[in-house]
Structure 1
Amino acid sequence: MMRFEWRPFLERWSGEWADAYDPERDAGPGAEGRRAARWLGGEPADEARIAAAEARLGITFPPSLRSFLAVTDGWHQAGHFVWRLAGCEDLRWCGDPHDMRGIWLDGAGDDADEDLVRLAGLWSRSLQLATESDMVDVLLDPEDVDERGEWAVYTWAPWRGSPPERLPSFRHFMEDAYREFHSMASDRPAFANETTAALDDRVEQARLAALRGAYEAARETLSDAAAFGRPGASRLRDQIDVMCGTATGAEGGASLADPYVAHEAVPLTCRAQSRYGTHQYGTHQYGTDQEELLTRCYPEEDRPAVAATLRAIEEATFRYRADGAFGEAVETARALARRAQPEAAWRTLATALPAWTPRSADHIAPVGLLADPYLGPVLTPERGRVLLATPRGPGAAKAAPPAAGSAPADGLGWLAEESPNGFRIVLIAGVEPSEVPLRLAAGDATVRPALTPGDAWQPHPGGEPWENRTVARFGAAGDGWVFAHSGQGLDAALQERFASPATEASHGTRALTLTYAPQWDPESPAAFHFSCAENGEQRYGLTIRGETRTTTGKIPAELTSAGLLAGRTVSDGPRTALDSIAAHFGVTVSREAVCRGRLDGFETRSWLRAPAPGEGYAYWTRS
């Protein structure tokens, strides 16, 4: 094993600290002398001094600490919050003077497991390396030893509000402290040295590599540079992370004069702040003024624009824009996603990606797409990684178009697997998706933009108290068909007054109705209904409630022979029936669009007829 060369590392650190010295920030006992000497350490400890300290403590120091002491007997400014590390004479056992063991175990109560008990004993068994600090413990743990004999170092400060942070060895601790020194000094105007120059060159090379598609290697380099506080490194790394689905991309506070901030970061920050995302500081804080919470960190002149973007995100009216050929592809892809064709939308974006142009020098991916209510769900983490692996930007070669052929046909059978609350779906032939609300909606056919799957299942009473309406989302359903779907079935108890909205929707064409409700309890058996209507009249249908089967009209032989629940009850699941119907009519509804996308929706007319004279009914109301 190669011995770590402490002297050049510590001399470089000391010299950089001296060159960046700020009397207001760094002054303290002996600081001026250390600046003049360009050395943050002390004299080397000889073998006798180190052996004496080991004998006093009854241990042998781990290799990296022992070799460190042989270069300098102690150290000042170990990062920003540890002002002095112990030398041989003042190394001591921590002894848990503040009863941290009791505090940790009392907080856990009877739920303390073995790992927590071991962690709680950290203070009583460890060496304390910090002699002066901002309430930071630096603990060398003799029970956490690797195969090289190195002891793990744990750092803990009560103001962090988190468990102790582990580093594999004393050497790793010092390298981490050096990175912290750089990070805290990076905002000083005069802070420039060989280390910063080398890091900035690596950041630029990583940026170019990311644009060429080598995003994984670029991310590793950028993460290292970000730990040193190098400007731009975090933003570049975060763009990779947000496309991979491991970060929100939120970046509050910068001026909208930066085009990346205005068009990419602000929409992502608003998405994270909105009810559709995770609050950038933790869990979404209902009950607070989200607009004020977000905008107050921006320059005053930018706050109206940020507030407008937040409202657009909340109302699902935000539209991501881009320049040139890629911008045209974005518009086309959005229209496809809105039609429930996410695979086609993705192919459109992927084909145009080489034509994408960065908005600024630290922009490597169109991350703002993720804030678009229609296109954000299309860019799954898997597709995000494909995007990152595609060369793009100025000089990128034109990509080969995606493989020929239509998007995979999902059919209808998947509805049986993705519908724990059942479903309702109407399919109409020969019309465009924009016509669906006109044929099925209640009232004025108001369209609600970009609804999530959760927005389109809860039925609403609407109109008369006996009515049963629901919010449905709609889109294309293969060649020549459209659909309207709601993720809430129609209970068997309501089937007595069932009135398919597809009958009215079939004027001038034909329409299919499919509903399914799982069994909730012994008195509410599973229920399945399928019917076909043409020109405003129902032609045939099948209704199954528990063990009871009812048919109307003449069901085509192709359907019955294909297994339209033949010989089985609806409790077996409607998968076979759905597959048969999809194959017979040539319909397919995108599973991805319905289950993970955002689609336009509307409130349907009632799925129940008016009760006959003397016929009772039950209903619920909004609370």
Structure 2
Amino acid sequence: MMRFDWRPFLERWSVEWADAYDPERDGHRGGEECAAARWLGRQAADTAGIAAAETRLGVALPPSLRSFLAVTDGWHNAGTFVWRLAGCADLEWCGDPHGMREIWLDGTGDDADEDLVRMAGTWSRSLQLAVESDMVDVLLDPGDVDARGEWAVYTWAPWRASPPERHPSFRHFMEDMYRQFHAMASDRPGFSNDTTRVLDERVEGARLAALRGEYEAAREALCDAVAFGRPRASRLRDQIDALCGTATGAEAGGSLADPYIAHEAVPLSCRAQPPYGMHREESLTQQYAEADRPAVAETLRAIEEGTFRYRAEGVFGAAVQTARALARRAEPEAAWRALAASVHAWTPRSADHIAPVGLLADPYLGPVLTPERGRLLLSTPRGPGATGPAPQPLGAAPADGLGWLADESRHGFRIVLIADVELSEVPRLLGVDDTTAVQPALTVGEAWQAQPGGEPWEARTVVRFGAAGEGWVFAHCGRGTDATQERFHSPAVQASRGTRAVTVTYEPQGGTGGTDDTATFHLSYAEKGEPRFGVTSRGDSRKATGVIPAALAPVALFRGRTVPEGLRGALDSIASYFGVTVSQEAVCHGRLDGVETRSWLREPAPGEGWAYWTRT
């Protein structure tokens, strides 16, 4: 096993610390003497001193600590919050003087898991390395030993409000404290040395690698620079992580004079959740200069209302507009292909901009950029002078049809299909009246939670709509209506004015809290405002009207099948017969425009009773 050479590492740390020494920040920790000596350590411990400490403690110290003590018998300013580490004479068993074991296990009774019990015992079995600190324990744990005989080090402070942080060995702990020193000193004027210069060169190399599409190698280099607190590194890494789906990319604060802040970071910060208990607008805008706050607030409102639009320049900017229109039509695969074909032509807004992360804040395009597609985008050479192929789609375009609705039918669904109309006609054909307003960029959950108006006897709903293949549009809601009700009224009749329309509904429990045997399925078809045929199935009961095509007859749809099989088979048959397809990705994961429909129940006739219930 190669022994770590402590001397050059500790000397470099000491010199860099002394050069960054600030009496107001560091003087109260014996810093003046350390700065003058340009050495944070002490005299080396001899072999006899180390052996005496081991005899006193009754254990052999782990290798990296023994070799450290042979260079310096203790250490000052290990990071920012540990002011003095123990030498041979100061090493003591912690002994859990503050009852941390009981605090960690309080209230768990016999339910505490093995990991929690082990963690709670860390204080009672470990050596305490922190002699002076800002309420920080540095615990060398003989109960966590690796194959090399190294003991793990755990650091814990009550003001962190988090579990102890594990370092695999004493050497790892010291290297982490060296990074912490750099991170905390990075904002000091003139803080520059050989370490920072090497790291900054790596950051620039990572930026160029990311633009070449080598994002994984770039991220690895950036993570190391982030740990050292190097400027630029966090912004560059966060762009990669945002498109990979592992971070938000939010970077609250800064000046809107920086185009990256204004057009990329602010929208992403507006999209992120505010700290718990904080007012969203206030918690965000207070991080910006007074003059910038109105613009930030306006972006936040656009994000919340679903009206924010990401914009870019040139060829890629045109592709963004095309892709948004396609995503809004419920064609996410086509939207992605439009973006992918032009990613190479994207241009950065500033020197530290490596990808169009602001797309994630666009209500229509954000859902299109899945982590898989984000990684494909990152792997594409882009920016001025970029060369290389466009990212390939993730396999063949999905053949959605309608059968997938059977997999999303736990709460039922309603879907209306209308032929030969533009999407803009959907509010007129299905809405409460001809002036029904479009609700932009709704998720399936937001449409579900919407509270439609109307009379108590009505069954209005909010549907989201989009394209359903060549010549068709759809309107979908992820909850069903029991079509066996006497007053059920298919919206296909009014929606078919001047064209053709189809209604399909599924209610898994028939509205009565029963089992799958009481599930209700309904299909109806209308032309030019007149009903042509319909079929309603509930359990073994079938009701049909009009002349039903053989391919859609109840027997053909459900014979010899379980309810789930019958539902999928019926949906596949409808999709095939009418030539329609609805994107599962768009409906389940995208944002689509919505509209409040007319009631799916007709008005009660004179003397006709009715009942209603409210959803909570």
Q: Does the pair score TM above 0.5?
A: yes
Q: Distance in 1 between matches of 2:107 and 2:182?
A: 36
Instruction: Give the partner amino acid of 1:170.
Output: F
* Residues 258/83 of structure 1: CA separation in 2 closer, same or farther (3 Å cut): same
The aligned residue for residue 275 of structure 1 is none
> What is the DSSP-based 3-state SS (H/G/I as helix, E as strand, rest coil) of the residue aligned with 1:425?
strand
Deviation, structure 1 residue 567? 4.7
Q: Distance in 2 between matches of 1:573 and 1:256?
A: 57
Q: Distance in 2 between matches of 1:514 and 1:329?
A: 35
| 1:455-497: CA deviation from partner (whole Å, max 9, x where unpaired) | 2235756333322111001010001100011111012553x21
In the TM superposition, 1:125-164 aligns within 5 A as 125-164=125-164
Instruction: Give the partner amino acid of 1:596.
Output: H
Q: Is the 8 A contact 2:483 2:505 kept in 1?
A: no
The aligned residue for residue 301 of structure 2 is 311
* Residues 10/571 of structure 1: CA separation in 2 closer, same or farther (3 Å cut): closer
Q: Is the 8 A contact 1:459 1:468 kept in 2?
A: no
1:474 aligns with 2:465: yes
* Residues 481/256 of structure 1: CA separation in 2 closer, same or farther (3 Å cut): same
| 1:535-581: CA deviation from partner (whole Å, max 9, x where unpaired) | 11111111112221011111112334993223557565511000001
> What is the DSSP-based 3-state SS (H/G/I as helix, E as strand, rest coil) of the residue aligned with 2:337?
helix
* Residues 104/558 of structure 1: CA separation in 2 closer, same or farther (3 Å cut): closer
Q: Distance in 2 between matches of 1:555 and 1:562?
A: 11
Q: Is the 8 A contact 2:417 2:468 kept in 1?
A: yes
Deviates more, 1:473-482 or 1:522-531: 522-531
The aligned residue for residue 69 of structure 2 is 69
1:580 aligns with 2:573: yes
Instruction: Give the partner amino acid of 2:53.
Output: A
Q: Distance in 2 between matches of 1:29 and 1:269?
A: 38
Q: Distance in 1 between matches of 2:226 and 2:169?
A: 22
Q: Is the 8 A contact 2:267 2:361 kept in 1?
A: yes
1:464 aligns with 2:455: yes
Q: Is the 8 A contact 1:416 1:573 kept in 2?
A: no
Deviation, structure 1 residue 22? 1.2
The aligned residue for residue 451 of structure 1 is 442
Q: Is the 8 A contact 2:484 2:520 kept in 1?
A: no
Query: What TM-score comes out, normalization by structure 2 length?
Result: 0.96
> What is the DSSP-based 3-state SS (H/G/I as helix, E as strand, rest coil) of the residue aligned with 1:530?
strand
| 1:121-149: CA deviation from partner (whole Å, max 9, x where unpaired) | 11111111110100001010011110000
> What is the DSSP-based 3-state SS (H/G/I as helix, E as strand, rest coil) of the residue aligned with 2:609?
coil
Q: Distance in 2 between matches of 1:412 and 1:268?
A: 34
Instruction: Give the partner amino acid of 2:463.
Output: A
Deviation, structure 1 residue 531? 1.3
The aligned residue for residue 527 of structure 2 is 534
Give 1:483's match in structure 2, choosing from 461, 474, 484. Answer: 474
The aligned residue for residue 78 of structure 2 is 78
1:599 aligns with 2:592: yes
Gaps of 5+ in 1: 273-277
In the TM superposition, 1:393-408 aligns within 5 A as 393-397=383-387, 399-400=389-390, 407-408=397-398
The aligned residue for residue 603 of structure 2 is 610
| 1:197-232: CA deviation from partner (whole Å, max 9, x where unpaired) | 000000000111111111111111101100000001
Deviates more, 1:334-343 or 1:444-453: 444-453
The aligned residue for residue 558 of structure 1 is 551
The aligned residue for residue 314 of structure 2 is 324
Deviation, structure 1 residue 108? 3.2
Q: Is the 8 A contact 1:20 1:188 kept in 2?
A: yes
* Residues 603/94 of structure 1: CA separation in 2 closer, same or farther (3 Å cut): same
Instruction: Give the partner amino acid of 2:46.
Output: D
Q: Is the 8 A contact 1:416 1:575 kept in 2?
A: yes
> What is the DSSP-based 3-state SS (H/G/I as helix, E as strand, rest coil) of the residue aligned with 1:593?
helix
Q: Distance in 2 between matches of 1:350 and 1:338?
A: 17
Give 2:499's match in structure 1, choosing from 497, 504, 509. Answer: 509
Deviates more, 1:348-357 or 1:430-439: 430-439
Q: Distance in 2 between matches of 1:438 and 1:328?
A: 30
Deviates more, 1:295-304 or 1:171-180: 295-304
Q: Distance in 1 between matches of 2:146 and 2:20?
A: 36
| 1:284-315: CA deviation from partner (whole Å, max 9, x where unpaired) | x4xx5321121111111111011111111111
The aligned residue for residue 219 of structure 1 is 219
> What is the DSSP-based 3-state SS (H/G/I as helix, E as strand, rest coil) of the residue aligned with 2:498?
coil
Q: Is the 8 A contact 2:29 2:83 kept in 1?
A: no
In the TM superposition, 1:10-29 aligns within 5 A as 10-28=10-28
Give 1:349's match in structure 2, choosing from 339, 342, 354. Answer: 339
Deviation, structure 1 residue 30? 4.2
Q: Is the 8 A contact 2:344 2:390 kept in 1?
A: no
Deviates more, 1:56-65 or 1:520-529: 520-529
1:359 aligns with 2:352: no
> What is the DSSP-based 3-state SS (H/G/I as helix, E as strand, rest coil) of the residue aligned with 1:574?
helix
Q: Is the 8 A contact 1:459 1:488 kept in 2?
A: no
Gaps of 5+ in 2: none
* Residues 424/163 of structure 1: CA separation in 2 closer, same or farther (3 Å cut): same
The aligned residue for residue 522 of structure 1 is 514
Instruction: Give the partner amino acid of 2:271.
Output: R
Q: Is the 8 A contact 2:308 2:363 kept in 1?
A: yes
Query: Percent sequence identity over matched residues?
Result: 74
Q: Distance in 1 between matches of 2:450 and 2:293?
A: 38
> What is the DSSP-based 3-state SS (H/G/I as helix, E as strand, rest coil) of the residue aligned with 2:448?
coil
Say how many residue pairs are matched: 612
Q: Is the 8 A contact 2:469 2:579 kept in 1?
A: yes
The aligned residue for residue 268 of structure 2 is 268
Q: Distance in 1 between matches of 2:378 and 2:260?
A: 18
Q: Is the 8 A contact 1:502 1:533 kept in 2?
A: yes
Instruction: Give the partner amino acid of 1:328.
Output: A
* Residues 34/173 of structure 1: CA separation in 2 closer, same or farther (3 Å cut): same
Q: Is the 8 A contact 2:461 2:596 kept in 1?
A: yes
| 1:252-305: CA deviation from partner (whole Å, max 9, x where unpaired) | 121111111111111011011xxxxx33x3x5x4xx532112111111111101
Deviation, structure 1 residue 407? 3.7
Instruction: Give the partner amino acid of 2:321.
Output: E
What do you get for the CA RMSD once the two structures are aligned? 1.9
Runs of 4+ in structure 1 over 4 Å off: 400-406, 458-461, 567-573
* Residues 29/223 of structure 1: CA separation in 2 closer, same or farther (3 Å cut): closer
Deviation, structure 1 residue 16? 0.4
Deviates more, 1:173-182 or 1:90-99: 90-99
Q: Is the 8 A contact 1:460 1:468 kept in 2?
A: no
> What is the DSSP-based 3-state SS (H/G/I as helix, E as strand, rest coil) of the residue aligned with 2:294?
helix
Deviation, structure 1 residue 246? 0.9
Q: Is the 8 A contact 1:73 1:88 kept in 2?
A: yes
Q: Distance in 2 between matches of 1:404 and 1:79?
A: 46
Q: Is the 8 A contact 1:563 1:576 kept in 2?
A: no
Instruction: Give the partner amino acid of 2:295.
Output: A
Deviation, structure 1 residue 620? 3.5
Instruction: Give the partner amino acid of 1:426.
Output: V
> What is the DSSP-based 3-state SS (H/G/I as helix, E as strand, rest coil) of the residue aligned with 1:516?
strand
| 1:386-428: CA deviation from partner (whole Å, max 9, x where unpaired) | 1111111111115348579984320001011112111111101
> What is the DSSP-based 3-state SS (H/G/I as helix, E as strand, rest coil) of the residue aligned with 2:518?
coil
Q: Is the 8 A contact 1:62 1:150 kept in 2?
A: yes
* Residues 464/53 of structure 1: CA separation in 2 closer, same or farther (3 Å cut): closer
Instruction: Give the partner amino acid of 1:302.
Output: D
